[in-house]
Amino acid sequence: MQRRLCALLLLASHCLGSAAGLFPFGEPDFSYKRSNCKPIPAPMLLCRGIEYQSMRLPNLLGHETVQEVLEQASTWIPLVQKQCHPDTRKFLCSLFAPVCIDDLDEIIQPCHSLCEEVKESCAPVMSAFGFPWPDMLDCSRFPKDNDLCIPLASSDHILPVTREAPKVCDACKNKNEDDNDIVENLCKNDFALKIKVKEIAYINGDTKITPETKSKTIYKLNGLTERDLRKIVLWLKGGLQCTCDEMNDINVPYLVMGQKQAGELVITSLKRWQKGQRAFKRFSRSIRKLQC
């Protein structure tokens, strides 16, 4: 995604009551209709590589269709990419895609300890984006470890983190540009804005960024008017397939540049605005003399 209702980002509506950003919220109904097994769909990136292949519907969040699960699960991928805990994926998948065993009618929930461990490591990450740990993930909802539930991985079975690091979005790569480089980059793009973020959402694999209306400073804008800016949205293409650690706090301003493509404003460069940093301090002065 007020600004706090967005990011982690970032949303879809049915997931957990109401959702508007990266992390959904709400009070799930833990009463179930008669459930049935469905294959975990290949496009469900949140549960890719999980140890089982079939999930129960309705799931622990009340989603009744595969399409609904796909849409809502995608909003949590950025939290998994933060690697705040080795079992984050397991925990979330046990909610969105509960393991399905044909001979067992009971839905298997995550264990209390699994929830607590993931919360301890990941709640600070969510907090950095302005989100408290949601009530729907209140660990007291989940069974103790001596019951039938999905346990925390034994430390004996946790492998060292040798997996390939997530791909960094091209627009978010640190290029160590000075003020001259930034101004030169400006000439190659159709727009340049200093913004604060109101909302971050994920749509069809792309990141949708809605700026705060009153926070924008315009440095360059081709093809749009001030009136158009009132409802402007920016797009980070393929945002669900890459990480953007540069944009890890929605409470600070950013310099974004990009191009107009098929009617959308697509970000090609995103940098946290470094207050007092020489490059950014001189950028505002240099832009007034700019001749591309």
pLDDT on residue 5: 28
Over the stretch 136-154, which tens digit does the pLDDT of each residue have? Answer: 889 999 999 877 899 988 5
pTM exceeds cut of 0.85 = no
Q: Which of 44-58, 69-83, 132-146, 178-192 has the lowest mean pLDDT?
A: 178-192
- pLDDT tens string 151-190: 988 544 443 333 455 688 899 887 776 667 777 888 889 8
Sign of CA dihedral 42, 28, 91, 109: negative
Residue pLDDT, tens place only, 94-123: 999 999 987 777 889 999 999 999 999 999
What 8-state DSSP symbol labels residue 178? Answer: -
Measured CA to CA, the distance from residue 172 to residue 245 in angstroms comes to: 7
Delineate the domains of the chain, giving CATH numbers in brackets: 7-157 (1.10.2000.10), 170-288 (2.40.50.120)
Render pLDDT for 219-263 as a digit per residue (tens, 0 to 9).
Answer: 888 877 767 677 789 999 988 778 887 887 777 889 899 998 988
Phi-psi region at 250: left, alpha or beta (left = phi > 0; alpha = psi -120 to 50): alpha
